[in-house]
Amino acid sequence: MLLVLDTNVYIHAFTTTKKPACKTLITLLATSPSKYKLRIPRMIVEEVRRNIVPEVFREFLEFILELTNLDEDIFVPFELGAKYEAKGLKPSDAFIAAFTEWVGADVLVTENRHFLSCHLGLPFKVLTAEKCLNLI
């Protein structure tokens, strides 16, 4: 199963205990790399960097680089992002949706982009970390 995790999932997993499902999901991904694949765009890495202390960012980056490669944002087709903006999403949300579709992910895991689940016909599921854990 291919997953894209939103910025907030990483922040909760690496810095807080407010959402234990985020930490549990990260642990599962780290211990089952042959079963679950992860993709991440540079934009999310940069958002995480801006929101956590350097020591924790280093831990986050080691986790990411052990499991996957960093995808450069410029490779996501502009037209794909424009499609999501035309559906009413703000640019950063449209990019995450476009990236998720572009990599062919099964699930976008997020704690705050629930409005995406209201859009019918998405080529991927939008789940919270807790719902993702229930699915897998």
Residue 127 in contact with residue 108, Cβ under 8 Å? Answer: yes
What's the token pair of residue 95?
């990019």
Give all domains of the chain, ordered by start, each with its CATH number: 2-135 (3.40.50.1010)
The answer, yes or no, to whether residue 120 has pLDDT greater than 90, is no
pLDDT bracket for residue 118 (50, 70, 90): low
Q: CA–CA separation, 55 vs 112, rounded Å?
A: 25
Asked whether the predicted pLDDT for residue 113 surpasses 70, the reply is: no
Residue 49: other Cβ atoms inside 10 A: 14
- Report the pLDDT value the prediction gives residue 88, as an integer from 0 to 100: 83
Output the pTM of the full model: 0.90
pLDDT in tens, 37-68: 999 999 999 999 999 999 999 999 999 999 99
H helical segments located in 1-136? 7-15, 20-31, 42-51, 54-67, 78-86, 91-103, 129-135
